[in-house]
Amino acid sequence: MTLAASGDESHGPPLVRARGVSVRFGRRSVLDSVDLQVHAGEIVTLVGLNGAGKSTLIRVILGILQPERGTVERAPGLRIGYSPQHVRRDPILPITVRRFLTLGARARSDRLKAALDEVGAGAILDFPLAEISGGEMQRVLLARALLREPGLLVLDEPLSGVDIASQSELYNLIGTLRDRYGCGVLLVSHDLHLVMAASDTVVCLNRHVCCTGRPQAVLRDPEFISLFGPHLSESVAVYQHIHDHRHDALGEPMAIDADAPEPATEPATGAARQP
């Protein structure tokens, strides 16, 4: 599904639009006159080096942080589902996945199970949160965001703690959810190969917007090349993640047998684990 690049109004008004957003922490400029918008059904990805201001911009979009200058406009009644980059899991605190999903909000048990099933983690509803894997944790965070029935999903580093073999599957899941619900997706990622294959619009940030547009256009932009280097730009340009294969337990590609049943999204999530 290919949509118009951010800035094209042919798909209606944006779900969220940042105009001229600037943020300072003391004397340090973190964001300088940043513009960004996300439409329904569009995946917009923020890329940039560490310290570029990506997470700060996410906090401004969410309304957690007020900008020094600029505005953020949200569609009336917009519900936002947010998945943070890090969640501290204390092994001493006996909290289950079920309890974590209901923190700050009530939901029936069947809704919790349905949300986890949708992200491929239905078997871990009553597992201790501290004992699930990094990939399972990201799926739980995504399920928690979906419980809000959002029009916009905001995902800060959704591949954090996810093993290489499961990263493309998680990106495919995000795309599937976008298609199923027609929601917009704003995410932060460091994995440029997957970003360029899975995004409709890429915004390259370095405290200001260096460049923005379709992935292939951004790859050719001199500011992107200056920031990430020509070799990385060239390697990403030739990478096309056509999902005509699966990955084995070691992350190696496997051909897809059209007559074979689909495997579980993440084998580690299955019922083999004992609660």
Give the amino acid at 145.
A
Backbone angles phi, psi at 33, to 5 degrees: 55, 55
Host H or E run for residue 222: helix 222-228
For residues 239 and 235, the model is more confident at 235
Tens of pLDDT, residue by residue over 141-166, are 999 999 989 999 999 988 877 777 77
**Closest by CA position to 87, among listed 24, 146, 21, 158:** 158
For each of the domains in the chain, give its residue range(s) and CATH number, in order of start.
Answer: 9-79+179-273 (3.40.50.300)
Is the torsion defined by CA of 104, 109, 111, 113 positive or negative? positive
Q: Give the pairing type, strands 28-38 and 184-188.
A: unpaired
What pLDDT does residue 197 have? 77
Query: Which residue in this structure is represented by tokens 């990385």?
Result: 232
pLDDT at 175 over 70: yes
* % the chain with pLDDT above 70: 80
What pLDDT does residue 43 have? 96
**Closest by CA position to 18, among listed 212, 253, 158, 237:** 212
For residues 190 and 239, the model is more confident at 190
pLDDT at 79 over 60: yes
